[in-house]
Chains A and B, each alone.
Chain A
Amino acid sequence: MQALYIPASNETPEIHFDYASHQLAIRGESYPENAMSFYAPVRASLQSYLEAGHGGAPIRVEIALRYFNSASTKLIRALVAMLNATAVAGRKVILDWHHDAEDDMMIEFGQDLSEEHNAIEFHAVAQAEACAA
């Protein structure tokens, strides 16, 4: 299956879903005018990948978002929920949740996500403040 790559823009994150190596990454900032229309194709692509199964190869996910707006919040959670459903069905999913070391909201959001989607192996990864530009 062909990789999904969307370069970052000022208000949308880089999406790099490298399906061949089962590594999925979302990096940057997310506050598009219409979050639904930005995430709909991302969701559809991930859905096809997860349905294909790929012999149950472990999936490694990196979410490194410095900022996302309220409209993006639910859509990011929806992506994690899809991955969790796959993990519940028995496929290993590891999620690295990158956050600025002092960003309490981002830390809490990650914790809430991991508690709610506990079939995923969750790692919070603290970044130095310098990355928060």
Chain B
Amino acid sequence: MQLDVFNTFRCTAADNGILFYYTGEFSQNVVAAIGDTLRQRLETVGAPQTARRKVFSTFVEMAQNILHYAHPGDAEGAPKEGALAVGRDGERFFVVCGNPIQLEHVPRLQEKLEPLRRMTVDEIKAAYREQLRNEDHEADGVSKGAGLGFLTVARDAASPIDYHIAFNPENEHGSQGRADFYLRALI
């Protein structure tokens, strides 16, 4: 990369309020290390305690989603890869993430996320309580958690969470049963 291009990259990140950006392999060690760094960064920029807590929680849910559900790639036991950024937009903070997913998981994601985007805060809290008491969730063969991840992100967000699924037939993932999944929460 040429230094003038890196300068553009850096300025673009700054113009968009980016406080933290990571791309690459996700492991539990990476999540813990980023978590520590992120907490320090949020303290340095003077984020209020409540925002710090919500940004951290949203970060953990998104990072562990990448860890658990990112498309594993072609190689056996290949690390899970993705990207995650935290930034500031006026009085708000945002957490965004992106990672490759299996094409067959697209409808499942849409079914989970579309209703969340239309719910009020009270409806999200009610759905959270209901899922907390849902004893049937353990039968879900895909989920590796409590089925509360997206609800937790939605609960902490100040506005409906945004998602985008990119089908890029031209890129390296295109023809291999993958899509790129993006998620954004504003706090």
Residues of A within 8 A of B (CB): 10-11, 31-35, 67, 69-71, 73-75, 77, 100, 102-105, 108, 112, 116, 129, 132
Contacts and interface: CB of A to CB of B under 8 A. Distances in A.
A31 B64 contact: yes
Contacts of A69: 57, 60-61, 64, 152
A12 to B, nearest CB: 10
Contacts, number: 65
A33 B67 contact: yes
A74 B155 contact: no
Contacts of A100: 49
Contacts of A104: 50
Given A31-B60, A74-B132, A103-B53, A11 B28 contact: yes
B145 interface: yes
A112 B50 contact: no
Interface in B111-143: 125, 129, 132-133, 137
B148 interface: yes
B64 A10 contact: no
25 contacts: A10-B36, A11-B28, A11-B35, A31-B64, A33-B31, A33-B64, A34-B144, A35-B146, A67-B56, A69-B61, A69-B64, A70-B148, A70-B151, A71-B144, A71-B146, A73-B148, A73-B152, A74-B146, A100-B49, A102-B49, A105-B155, A112-B129, A129-B49, A132-B49, A132-B53
Contacts of A108: 125
Contacts of A35: 145-146
A32 B28 contact: yes
Nearest to A31: B60
B72 interface: no
